[in-house]
Amino acid sequence: MAIEQSAPAPVYRIGELAALTGMSVHTLRWYEARGLFPADIPRTSTGRRVYGEQAIGWLRLLARLRDSGMPVSEISKYAELVRAGDGNEHERVELMEAHARSLDEQIDRLLASREVIRTKIRAYRHLLAERGIDVPGAEAGAGVGDGRD
């Protein structure tokens, strides 16, 4: 069997990757310096970074982790585990499970906050409706909450 000549794997320069991921080139370099990549970024002979297709998938995950509040230091730990190779999947999954729990908490808190806000809005709407119907322009407000708020 001859060695298969596969189609040239698409490769990106840092500017292209930035455009594709919505991150700035500064950020990409900063992430790399912080150890957020699971593998060394290869360079051209003159030192320019060369990213493979998988970089996009990784950065998508990375963006999700960041966006959901995982600190850079934690993502770095995860990247380090991936970099270390097979055999530490248990640690990786534990890290992700911890983050999933953090997400559950965040979501619960936001839902609770949303209820508080919605209640506030309902109270204001009620007040405005009363005013609009009863005494347009009246200034008797009994307050929406328990005081001035």
**Residues in contact with DNA by the rule CB under 7 A:** 13-16, 18, 24-27, 29-30, 43-49, 66, 71-73
| Residue 73, binding choice from a second copy, DNA, none, Cβ under 5 to 8 Å by partner class | DNA
| Residue 13, binding choice from a second copy, DNA, none, Cβ under 5 to 8 Å by partner class | DNA
Of 19 and 39, nearer to a second copy (C-beta) is 39
User: Whole-angstrom Cα distance, residue 23 to residue 39?
Assistant: 19
Q: Where do contacts with a second copy occur on this chain (CB under 8 A)?
A: 38-39, 54, 57-58, 61, 64-65, 67-68, 82-83, 85-87, 89-90, 92-93, 96-97, 99-100, 103-104, 106-107, 109-114, 116-118, 120-121, 124-125, 127-128, 139, 141, 144-149
Q: Minimum distance from CB of 2 to a second copy (Å)?
A: 25
Tokens 């360079």, residue located: 43
Buried b (16+ CB within 10 A) or exposed e, 29-66: eebeeeebbbeebeeeeeeebebbeebeebbeebeebb
Nearest to 31 by CA among 18, 45, 47: 18
Q: Minimum distance from CB of 135 to DNA (Å)?
A: 38
Bridge partners, 43 (sequence order):
49
> Within 13 Å of residue 28, how many CA atoms lie on the same side as its CB?
24
| Residue 2, binding choice from DNA, a second copy, none, Cβ under 5 to 8 Å by partner class | none
- DSSP annotation of 49 reads B
Of 23 and 144, nearer to DNA (C-beta) is 23
Q: Identify whether the C-beta of residue 37 lies closer than 8 Å to the C-beta of residue 72.
A: no
| Residue 8, binding choice from a second copy, DNA, none, Cβ under 5 to 8 Å by partner class | none
